[in-house]
Structure 1
């Protein structure tokens, strides 16, 4: 069943953020745009490259009014240790959520039950707490955070411009489409 258009389910988790441990719930995903990035595990190989790339886009995502959350089934304590010992992860300024109960990973349908780890899932959530985009990759396929920026811009445009849609490779300021009978079979 698709998660697109569904509201984020209730959860409570501990997270590591800028030297502190904080509490995070589904309420944190409301009132602003949110990007939630699940990954398999701390102290691994592809994961730090993705999270560092996400940090490289963090300022742009913040300018667009979004907060970023990374999530793995590790604890918030493990996130801190990784942050303290990895050159790539030490750069991270966004919230790193621990999900040792695996509830959040189950809620977003990215838990690999056999391994007890989250798949590589990226979700963009609107200010109402509704999931607007879902991307899930196999474990060996890293993600490109610049595509998250593009998808966020498109989701924001569609939200503020009802009746318009963004075609493939849409960039901010370029033409959109207005679905109508006149367009059927002409694109």
Structure 2
């Protein structure tokens, strides 16, 4: 079993879990349906991405114990739909609109940058310092943060933001730092680091 199988199971189960929550709590509000559309579609797109242009970092083998632990940790991402749907809170239209806009930006940055990385490295090994990676060295992680930020925003609760912060400091940030260490072997990396941000785009610099 590979780590990607654990992640894919979680992503694929998400629309089922959200729909089940809607049924259990009898919540058919616009906000609940929008959440199902956003998070459910994100999960299905992830499965398509793994099929068309998989990420090698998720292909490492894991044992059953690690797989179960991974699923339990990933289940924390379901806190947002649980809080939204179980509480029956009325989400103001501007919040819904903001969450949708944030999600669209996130999906674009996440999936397009991953596609750029995959196909660039497939045909040309080396430092990727153009396109969506010209000003940010981790545009894919920025997109993922926007995506999960949109889910947290739609939940109208602070706890999903805490979960997202936990994933950022425990998973995203260490991965970004390891990536920088790996890229440092390229001669052009120092110049690239000067004109790009670790996560947020570095604007106004030359190059």
> Structure 2 length as normaliser, TM-score?
0.26
Query: Which protein is richer in helix relative to its size?
Result: 2
